[in-house]
Amino acid sequence: MSELLFRRGRAEDAPAAAPLMYASGPAAFDYVFGPKALALLESSFERDEGIFGCTNHEVGVLDRRVVAVGAFYDASMLRRRGPGTMRAIAREYGLGAPRVLVRALAVEALMPPPGEGELYVAHLGVEPALRGQGIMTRMLERNVELARKRGYEAMTLDVARNNPGARRLYERLGFRVIELRRSTAGEGAARVPDHYRMKLDFR
């Protein structure tokens, strides 16, 4: 494998990064945003708007291609980016925006925001052909070390109950399950799965 580099996301990364972000939780994205999910992620990333903005993400670059993405943010970053997320939804959905926000609140109850002193991990994705080659492990290890140095008390993330492979990866890095949250979002085949909240405590 060529040298893998990690850097902050840039607007021009949007076409490659957005599908990887979407793949991190397609059921939840589809439930909240419907058929426009991928378009919203790409436009928000490119505009650096809200929680899906490019500078809220780190990307992994291999042979000048973006092959991995992840978001790492705390409660204060989330509050600062909230208005941008609202603007992006309003622009994309117009009069339908309130319905989107109601669905977003249902998912937020399943995957709540980080607490004070926590660095939250989200939107993790790797190019399908490169999965299983340690790229996400390297991205996470790098950010665990940075979080320790910056004085965070813990890192937290949510993983779908039906994704045991991802859960095993996080457990190898020291994360432990602290809660199982049952989903009430969606119905039948379109139901958002139950999620585990996992935590890596630095104290």
Per-residue pLDDT of the chain (203 residues; tens, 9 = 90+): 578 999 999 999 999 999 999 999 999 999 999 999 999 999 999 999 999 999 999 999 999 999 999 999 999 999 999 999 999 999 999 999 999 999 999 999 999 999 999 999 999 999 999 999 999 999 999 999 999 999 999 999 999 999 999 999 999 999 999 999 999 888 877 789 999 999 999 98
User: How many domains does the structure of the chain reveal?
Assistant: 1
Residue 197 belongs to domain spanning: 4-201
d(CA 176, CA 198): 5
- In sequence order, which residues have a C-beta less than 8 Å from that of residue 192 and are 6 or more positions away? 27, 28, 31, 107, 110, 183, 185, 186
Q: Which pTM value belongs to this model? A: 0.94
| DSSP E strand boundaries for 9-165 | 57-62, 65-73, 118-126, 154-160
| CATH label of the domain that carries residue 32 | 3.40.630.30
